[in-house]
Structure formats: C-alpha cells, structure tokens
Amino acid sequence: MSTIKVNIVTPDGPVYDSEANMVIAVTSTGELGVLPGHIPMVAPLEIGAVRLNKDNGTERIAVSGGFLEVRPDKVTILAQAAELAEDIDTERAIEARKRAESRLQAKQDDTDFKRAELSLKRAMNRLNVAKGNI
C-alpha cells in the first residue's frame, strides 16, 4: 500500500515524523481523510485527534489546534501542542479538566469563560486520545 509522509511540529519542536497509509484530522469544516496523492491544501485544525492509519494499526495524536498543510506526498501539521497517545499524562489532563470545570461554574467574564472552555476541550481531547476513544 502506498504511504504519505507525516510531520507534526509544535513550538517546542518536532513531535512526529513518519509515514502513514491515511491521515485523519479534525479541521474547522469537519473531519478530513488524506490519502497519498491528495490535492494540495491548507486547513485550520481544531482541538482534536489526528489518526494515522498504518499497516500495523492506528496511531493517535492529541492536537490542540493549528494548521494542516497537504501536499501529494506529505502532510505537515503545525500544532500549538501535540502529544502521542502514549505520552499523555492522564493525571495532568484530569487535573486540567477539573480546573476548567470549576472555572466554568464560577461567575466570570466572557474572556475567562472562553479560555476555560478551550482548556476543558484540550483536557477532554487528551483523555479521549489516551484511552483510544477517538
């Protein structure tokens, strides 16, 4: 089966550099599946899972927003933060979820609400990716 190169980079450095049969990512307009030979495109990424289908199974990476650039032979993901499923610290994500939940319950202005909502989304995404739920 043909493969496509996949490169995931964050401000802290490279997180992933390998090949996959198919890349599935969550863009602002919905889920996008990329096979080798895909037409070139750029799309904003949501907080979500990037799934890499390989011969020996699926690898999952939690991505906290960014951009996806597709070329026929390569997918580049520039992410604000990205963690391989096995590198996710679930205790930390649970703590982050609790903090975000209590901030959402407290009375506060719109900016803080939005910030807490995004923090909750990142934490839930990390927990789901770590469990292999998405």
**Window contacting ligand ATP (CB under 6 A); options: 1-9, 29-37, 82-90, 102-110:** 82-90
128 binds ligand ATP (CB under 6 A): no
**Window contacting ligand ATP (CB under 6 A); options: 24-32, 33-41, 53-61, 81-89:** 81-89
126 binds ligand ATP (CB under 6 A): yes
In the chain, what is the greatest distance between 2 CA atoms, to the nearest angstrom? 54
Minimal distance, residue 34 CB to ligand ATP, in Å: 23
- 20, amino acid identity: A
92 binds ligand ATP (CB under 6 A): yes
9 binds ligand ATP (CB under 6 A): no
Q: Name the one residue in this structure whose structure tokens are 């975000």.
A: 100
Q: Name the one residue in this structure whose structure tokens are 């899972």.
A: 49
- Please, which residue, 70 or 93, has the CB nearer to ligand ATP? 93
Residues 6 or more apart in contact with residue 45 via CB below 8 angstroms: 25, 26, 27, 28, 63, 65, 66, 67, 68, 77, 79
